[in-house]
Amino acid sequence: MAVYTEIADEEVQEFARQYDIGRVVACKGIAEGIENSNYLLVTDTGPFILTLYERRVKVEDLPFFITLMEHLAARGIPCPVPVRGLDGRALRTLAGRCAAVVTFLRGMWPKRPHAAHCQALGEALARLHIAGQDFAMERHNDLSVGGWRTIYEALARLPGGVAPDLAAELLGELATLERHWPQALPTGVIHADLFPDNVFFEGERLSGLIDFYFACTDYLTYDIAVCINAWCFEVDGSFNVTKARRLIAGYRAMRPMLAEELQALPLLARGAALRFLLTRLYDWLNTPKNALVTRKNPTEYLQKLRFHRGARARRLRAG
């Protein structure tokens, strides 16, 4: 979440009158995240989240995101539910942007996730994948292996570009992953961005999954790989094996994994590290200076990428 587009009080009041959500009491920008403009919208009936979709989000993808959240919520997944207006529409326009209101989920995201958090996450992720099995819509993952070279080329065109040593490293990774990316793994709806700040807990109980605006159709195991990178490294960069095992155990307790999926997981984790390194590099260099947004340091994912590459080298030597 973030704020790129400012909205006036009068605009918010007029916008809210198109819903049966009560009178606006407060509307405050949320700085966390990087993709869309988000506001905590408080009315006399309670809190909501107001999202303005920025230019990086394709308008044609919005029905997928809205319908997916409705589908998952109807199947018991604790995710935001889009609020439909008095005219029955969930999507409308505010300040020149497509916009939507979704329900507010209670809880706090874990600043320092521990093993129990990881196990609960694995269980919730598996339930999400199972709930999405009968979702009729599909959305191609533009941020998977087929799109990474395009992101790298866009990076290289930015002022200052990429340092020569890092450019060589990234190109080498791209070539390796494009050559060895697995084929024909189980596919379905994935969240694709389930970082700790997108998962809420009330005590030890997982209370919500949010921010479905990278959701797409891809390998289910790739979603696990994203979570391993996001949840199972400590602040000093070390890999916590216990957290990873608990996450996978929680997942497998809900949805059994094929041997091929487990075998592919290390390479998928390496690819997921490259994906977030590339997009964070791009955002680091290309985010408007006046945006109310917390930029994320790409160095963290360079270290994770190198860890996975080193782990593969160690496995090859051991074999």
How does pLDDT run across 217-229, given as a tens digit for each residue?
999 999 999 999 9
Beta bridge partners of 219: 187
Report domain 115-318's class.
alpha beta
pLDDT at 295: 61
Q: Which two tokens stand for residue 27?
A: 């509307």
Helix (H, G, I), strand (E, B) or coil at 207: strand
Q: Which two tokens stand for residue 164?
A: 């020569």
Q: In sequence order, which residues have a C-beta less than 8 Å from that of residue 158 and are 6 or more positions away?
A: 282, 285, 286
Specify the DSSP class assigned to residue 59. G
pLDDT at 319: 43
pLDDT at 177: 98
What angle (nearest 5°) sits at the alpha carbon of residue 14, between those of residues 12 and 16? Answer: 65
pLDDT at 207: 98
Domain boundaries, the chain: 9-103, 115-318
Give CA separation, 260 vs 70, 266, 315, in Å: 32, 11, 17
Q: Which of 56, 138, 62 is nearest to 93 (CA)?
A: 62
Give the predicted TM-score (pTM) of the model.
0.92
Phi, psi for 7 (deg, rounded to 5): -130, 140
pLDDT at 54: 86
Specify the DSSP class assigned to residue 292. B
9-103 matches 115-318 in fold: no
Q: At what angle do helices 164-180 and 299-318 cross, to 10 degrees?
A: 50
Query: For residue range 158-175, what is the model confidence (pLDDT) as tens digits?
Result: 887 788 999 999 999 999
Give CA separation, 305 vs 13, 144, 187, 277, in Å: 46, 15, 24, 8
Amino acid at 67: T
CATH number of 9-103: 3.30.200.20
Q: What share of the chain is helix, strand, coil (3-state, %, to 5)?
A: 45, 20, 35
pLDDT at 293: 53
How far is 9 from 19, CA to CA, in rounded Å?
A: 16
E-assigned strand segments in the chain: 24-29, 37-43, 46-53, 92-94, 97-103, 187-190, 199-202, 205-209, 216-219
Identify the segments of the chain with pLDDT beneath 50: 1, 292, 316-319
Helix (H) or strand (E) holding 108: none
Beta bridge partners of 52: 37, 99
